[in-house]
A = this chain, B = another copy of it.
Amino acid sequence: MEDSKIKTILQAAKKRFAHYGLAKTAMNDIANDIGMSKASLYYYFKDKDQIFIAVVEQDMDEFVKVIEEVIERPSKASFKLKKYVSLKNSLLTRLINLAKVDKLNATDVFNPVYDDLKRTFNIKEKGLVSKILLSGIEQKEFIRFSVEQYTDLFLIVTGGLRTVALTAPDGLENQDKVNEQTTLFLDIFLKSIRQ
């Protein structure tokens, strides 16, 4: 019973936050959306930050679940690594609130809620990418190298290029160019660690 209430709240909040963002969403809006009294809503969540955190944590769980499924397949580590980049793009098109946390624009940086969530997401991503790299080393597809260092470089470069593509001023043409650069980076990255 309680679980289904929380589920309803999170579903409504997810849409609200995706459309209006954390700053422009009030507890009242969420309560109205599901015909719940404000008092009841406060019974489940202390404030809207707590709801936002729960929404983004759901997004992260989904992100990790989908990537873990790819990791468990018997394919090559190099394939999984490429897949990681394309899947991240498609997942974050759907998981809009997680995408907002991942991107962070100048004003959001000052909100510690975003900051904490971004840190958490970064740790989860590091876990997933290291797992892929380690499996490649274990299966002798890759040489031995510092998995931590390579994971950091992989995430900072592909994440940076993703942000550039999303904020590219000249529209699609520029976006294509950044995607090309991401592919090139993946190629040189893999070339440097392949046996």
Taking CB atoms, residues of chain B closer than 8 Å to A26 are none
The docked-state distance in angstroms from the alpha carbon of A113 to that of B105 is 22
The docked-state distance in angstroms from the alpha carbon of A193 to that of B192 is 10
Whether A66 sits at the interface, judged by CB under 8 Å, is no
Interface magnitude class on chain A:
20 to 34
Q: Is the CB of A184 within 8 A of B106?
A: no
What's the nearest-Cβ distance from chain B to residue A63, in Å? 23
Taking CB atoms, residues of chain B closer than 8 Å to A160 are 156-157, 160-161, 164
Binding site for B on A (CB under 8 A): 105-106, 149-150, 152-153, 156-157, 160-161, 164, 177-178, 180-181, 184-185, 187-189, 191-193
